[in-house]
Amino acid sequence: MGGERRGDGYLPLFETREATGRIAYRLYVICMFLGICMIWAYRATHIPRKGEEGRWVWIGVFAAEVWFGFYWIITQSVRWNRVDRSTFKERLSQRYEDELPGVDVFVCTADPSIEPPILVINTVLSVMAYNYPPEKLSVYLSDDGGSDLTFYALLEASRFTKHWIPFCKKFNVEPRCPAAYFSTMSGPPYIREAEEWWAMKKMYEEMENRIDTAGKLGRIPEEVRQKHKGFSEWNSGITSRDHQPILQILIDGRGDPNAVDNEGVTLPTLVYLAREKRPQHHHNFKAGAMNALIRVSSEMSNGSIILNVDCDMYANNSESVRDALCFFMDEKNGHEIAYVQFPQNYNNMTKNDLYGTSMKIISEVDFPGLDGYGGPLYVGTGCFHRRESLSGRKYNKQNKEKWESIPIGRKVDESSHDSEERIKGLATCTYEENTQWGNEMGLKYGCPVEDVITGLSIQCRGWKSVYFNPVRKGFLGLAPTSLAQSLVQHKRWSEGDFQILTSKYCPFIYGHGKIKLALQMGYGIYCFWAPNSFPTLFYVIFPSLCLYKGISLFPSIYSPWFLPFMYVIIAEYAYIILESLWHGMTLKGWWNEQRMWLLKRTTSYLFAFVDTLLLLSGIAKSAFIITAKVSDDDVSQRYEQEIMEFGSSSPMFTILASLAILNLFCLIGGATRVMMDGGISVLETLMLQFLLCGSLVLINVPLYQGLFFRKDKGRLPTSLAITSVVVAVLACLIPIY
């Protein structure tokens, strides 16, 4: 079916606009670059002679500043050509309502103790209630934990959805995640729906109680087990790491005439899958689960579009499917788009974003900038894929998909049981042997960030991607509620990105001649996270130690060379503060982000760098760490009060505490030297070091509180306080040469 014409052209299904303020921004970049070059010139022309005090520290600071300048240039690539997107869903409905493609939704979970089943099914229910033809919507839950508790929760959800979906559509509910909806509503919005509203809430709470009770008991009620054949799969005493493939069609929206809601309308298909796990076979973590889902779904529903979401990222906007299709089905440009990436947003953020997990700048600046050069990274959740782009196919501009010709659903004369038995073989451990799965087909294996490397390979095959950030967010998840969770999460991300840099998929090599240089640089922002740790550590430690020893590393405030340093500091911080405030952050939120920037660089990224080297040398093996989605009540309370959560001792915390104490000692020692050795004249030559060390002390205030002043369970252990003081004292006693 053709598009509507206006004059001699089609009305597009989406619009792309250039971001405002480009000229002012580019002038700022030019001035900043000149300032950075002048700092480099100062360092190169003022290196202390051999034998002079502080020579090697000076050279180290010079190297660090060269790195920071290089990395700054890399980060500007995403700000140079930012674009914004908007969609026209009414045009999509007018042209293609009867020809909308099948959509398969993949929800992935791995451990019921970390990702509670009630959390998982709330995500499932939210995507099942999308405003989309139910006969063209199929939802697959991949349970890599192989848990009967998760299966039981999904079975409960399959019954609840018969009431939930018509309720959502009748009253235009948003969001369509029941837990989120009822938690934000103290009562029905209108009197006319009060009876139905309270009845639905009661039904949800009863289901929630049954699921929670089963979880606490660690078993399913016997009368429930006997009513559904699916529970027989767990009769053999299977474990999460050793079990046969389990495939259960809970709602067969294509082949079962009884698969209808309480108003007689067809329900979306709902499938439970636990791929086979055996100790002797590597299962390739989430990438392996996704590839099993791709194969299984291709035989059951074969939706042309695949949406994958993490189990803690519920659908917050019932129109997201139609938004994505505006890009895929656009007559002029849709055929070249492989995936549409929505941002990761969170519904449990504190006012000032204590752990900097909102990633505002990434979602509001970096990804729109990447979109201007061919598309954003694939981040593993909230992403709509064209199925054929995940099959390893290269982009061909002559191959324009005819959506209406694509079959949807399995054979109509085949029963659910027959489908399950036939398709189970696609989810076995041995199916992928001697195939291209994990290499040329599906998601790539061998990297903790399988999503990023998969998106890069898709773009290098000629496809483009799109970033879409609607006013009503498409997906909302759970942000880490403790410092340890946040640091571990970033350790995994930065380790995976650094592994990409050191592999054959390095964006600057693998992407050369295939994607634009600016897009390669955009990938480099994240691939260089781990290497950032060493220049940052050097800059955090040695200028402060030199302040303690009275060794000047920066020009005097009366020197002309002082000006480029102050210009770069003031201009850069003025810009990033304005950028943060413009995109909705508070001033305290910006400060919290600066703190987390430092903490991550000195711990998460450092450990990621070291672990990658151990992996490359064959000493260690790759692992996939799941971030906990639940926390204790007292932890949650401190999080809501924006009190930083420590609560345990770890190598990361030892480093952070030692650096905090070291900078405090150096600031005190430097101030003492100023008062004893000449006052203002000494201060003139050490001013920038005082500014640097003082800033580090201010950033570390929560650490000092956790070490010495707090009495709650979230404080740092006393033993760690003693260790950090000893380490700092020893560092201050080491002579600087």
Please pick, among 261, 312, 323, 451, the residue that the annotation labels catalytic.
451
Amino acid identity for residue 247 in this structure = L
Q: Which of 327, 329, 375, 322 is nearest to 14 (CA)?
A: 327
Q: Select the more confidently predicted residue: 32 or 2.
A: 32
492 located within any domain: no
In this structure, are 535 and 660 located in the same domain? yes
Please report where in the chains the tokens 């993949």 appear, as a residue: 106
Percent of the chain with pLDDT over 90: 79
pLDDT band of 402, cuts 50, 70, 90: low
Q: Which of 75, 633, 639, 586 is nearest to 355 (CA)?
A: 639
CA 10, chain centre distance (Å): 36
In this structure, are 155 and 109 located in the same domain? yes
Give the residue from 479, 507, 541 where a domain finishes.
479
- Torsion sign (Cα): 453, 457, 458, 460: positive
Regarding pTM above 0.95, the answer is no
In this structure, are 27 and 134 located in the same domain? no
In this structure, are 550 and 696 located in the same domain? yes
| Number of separate domains in the chain | 2
In this structure, are 140 and 182 located in the same domain? yes
Contacts of 417 (CB under 8 A, 6+ apart): none
Query: Which CA distances in Å does 516 have to 45, 499, 525?
Result: 36, 21, 15
Q: Select the more confidently predicted residue: 282 or 413.
A: 282
What does the alpha-carbon distance between residue 522 and residue 369 come to, in Å, rounded to a whole number?
Answer: 8
In this structure, are 535 and 459 located in the same domain? no
pLDDT band of 236, cuts 50, 70, 90: confident
Is the pLDDT at 546 greater than 50, yes or no?
A: yes
12 located within any domain: no
Is the pLDDT at 33 greater than 80, yes or no?
A: yes
344 located within any domain: yes
> What is the model's pLDDT at position 406?
47
In this structure, are 33 and 172 located in the same domain? no
pLDDT band of 257, cuts 50, 70, 90: confident
3 located within any domain: no
Whether 144 is catalytic is: yes
Is the pLDDT at 412 greater than 60, yes or no?
A: no
Q: What would the DSSP string read from start to end of 278-343?
A: -TTS---HHHHHHHHHHHHHHHHT--SEEEEEETT-EE--TTHHHHHHHHHT-TTTGGGEEEEEPP
Three-class SS of 48-81: CCCCCCCHHHHHHHHHHHHHHHHHHHHHHCCCCC
Write the pLDDT tens digit of every residue in 95-131: 999 999 999 999 999 999 899 999 999 999 999 999 9
470 located within any domain: yes
Looking at 129-270, list the stretches that DSSP marks H as alpha helix, in order from N- to C-terminal side. Answer: 148-171, 178-184, 194-217, 222-227
Please pick, among 104, 144, 252, 312, the residue that the annotation labels catalytic.
144
129 located within any domain: yes
85 located within any domain: no
Whether 252 is catalytic is: no
Write the pLDDT tens digit of every residue in 39-76: 999 999 999 998 888 899 999 999 999 999 999 999 99
84 located within any domain: no
**Minimum mean pLDDT range among 406-420, 574-588, 721-735:** 406-420
In this structure, are 610 and 552 located in the same domain? yes
Give the residue from 479, 512, 540 where a domain finishes.
479
In this structure, are 106 and 64 located in the same domain? no
In this structure, are 43 and 189 located in the same domain? no
In this structure, are 460 and 569 located in the same domain? no
Give the residue from 479, 496, 512 where a domain finishes.
479
Mean pLDDT of the region 290-311: 96
DSSP state of 346: E
In this structure, are 385 and 249 located in the same domain? yes
Write the pLDDT tens digit of every residue in 449-479: 899 999 999 999 999 999 999 999 999 999 9
User: Which CATH number belongs to the domain containing residue 134 in this structure?
Assistant: 3.90.550.10
The parent domain of residue 201 ranges over 100-479
